[in-house]
Amino acid sequence: MVSAILAKPAPGEHVLVAGGAGYVGSHVAWLLCRLGFRVTVLDDLSTGHRDAVPDHASFIPCDLRDQEQVSGIFMETKPSAVMNFAARSLVGDSYRDPMGYIRHNLMIMTNLAQAAAANGVSSFLLSSTAAIFGTDGTGKISEAWPIHPNNPYGESKVMCEGVLRWLEEACGVHTAALRYFNASGALFCADLGEAHDPETHLIPIVIQAALGRRDHVDMFGADHPTPDGTCIRDYVHVLDLADAHVRALLALRKVGGLRYNVGSGTGYSVKDIIQATEEITGRRIATIVRPRRAGDPATLVACSDRIGRDLGWRPVNSALPTIIRSAWAWHAKHPDGFTGASPLPRPAMMALHA
């Protein structure tokens, strides 16, 4: 498979990136622009950031739950491919508002799918999640694991993947879903990275503590059946995720029905993350042990062999020190996220690999 780094857009290839002002979506939009694709970002900016959209991408503010608005944009812009990153994605919130989460995410998905089918879109790629899988298996999580989500957010993504099936079977659109684990890191130039409010991801929380913006880091359980008692998770660099999305987009020119798990294949514990951050930043990070969270599995690590075999993908940036150094550089340069940030430099000025 041709490397995404060397990919060239086909004549007239126009990618619509829904949710492209968010964390993963903006990095994918950046890579697409860097490779020369024509890119249009749709986002309502409820959780995304206008300054995260690359200069070379067109931006259209859009409530993706509005079918009429979405259809009109498709008719006007005529994309050849769609990538959907737009979703509510906080697991804890999804328990508090399960029907709202499912309705919101499924409405966006069906609106985009309906517009894609009606406007001759050839490829549709869904940003999915490892939360679709149950936690009753053993070993690394492959595509063969049982689909059994333990939270409403995961359930909403299962439903969205179901929409993909019928978009392909009934409408002839080639589809792909990438189920990834813990997206992490930032561009190595520190001009694009992670900015959530509130922040719920471990690595930026630990870095905020290193920056003095938090008093401590909560560790939920120190008695899990792991070597150091804290939960183990798979962290994959956001640029490796972007690379996987572009490789899948290229593959969709010829085939459909692609379903891939995307992770580093290596697990790191909460204590591993804290220790590595202390070593890289030279700063001490206080911790407080809290009770375990209900339903928190001890270990979740990806098996990404299938995407490696099929698309030649490798997690080349996902070593833990590389992830933390890139995230540290971003947060140190932008402690308030995109608040007051200057526009992104042109993609050609940015380095893709460390």
280-301: pLDDT as tens digits: 999 999 999 999 987 678 899 9
Token pair recorded at residue 154: 């995961």
Tens digit of pLDDT for each residue in 249-277? 999 999 999 999 999 999 999 999 999 99
Residue labelled with tokens 């010829």: 254
Active-site hit among 23, 95, 101, 153: 153
Residue labelled with tokens 């514990």: 269
Sequence-distant (6+) residues with CB within 8 A of 248 are: 125, 176, 178, 258, 260, 307, 311
Tell me the average pLDDT across 11-16: 88
Long-range own/partner contacts, residues 337-341 (CB < 8 A, 24 or more apart): 337/49, 337/195, 337/197, 338/49, 338/50, 338/51, 338/52, 338/195, 341/51
Q: For the chain, what is the domain count?
A: 1
Judged against a pLDDT cut of 60, whether residue 142 lies above it is answered with: yes
In single-letter form, the type of residue at position 337 comes to G
Per the domain annotation, does 350 fall within a domain?
Answer: no
pLDDT at position 137: 60
Burial class (CB in 10 A: 0-12, 13-18, 19+), 29: buried
Confidence of residue 348 (pLDDT cuts 50, 70, 90): very low
Residue labelled with tokens 């993350």: 273
How many Å apart are CA 313 and CA 1, to the nearest integer?
9
Per the domain annotation, does 349 fall within a domain?
Answer: no
Residue 269, beta-bridge partner list: 232
Per the domain annotation, does 248 fall within a domain?
Answer: yes
Confidence of residue 341 (pLDDT cuts 50, 70, 90): very low
CA 254, chain centre distance (Å): 24
pLDDT at position 4: 60
Per the domain annotation, does 343 fall within a domain?
Answer: no
Judged against a pLDDT cut of 60, whether residue 354 lies above it is answered with: no
Tell me the average pLDDT across 189-196: 94
How many Å apart are CA 347 and CA 59, to the nearest integer?
16
Domain span holding position 155: 14-337
Whether 180 sits among the annotated catalytic residues: the reply is: no
In single-letter form, the type of residue at position 167 comes to L
Per the domain annotation, does 354 fall within a domain?
Answer: no
Per the domain annotation, does 167 fall within a domain?
Answer: yes
Tens digit of pLDDT for each residue in 212-240? 999 999 999 999 999 999 999 999 999 99
* Residue 159: half-sphere exposure toward Cβ, Cα within 13 Å: 18
Per the domain annotation, does 205 fall within a domain?
Answer: yes
Confidence of residue 63 (pLDDT cuts 50, 70, 90): very high
Identify the CATH number of the domain in which residue 82 sits: 3.40.50.720
Per the domain annotation, does 75 fall within a domain?
Answer: yes
Share of residues in the chain with pLDDT > 90 (%)? 78
Average pLDDT, the chain: 90
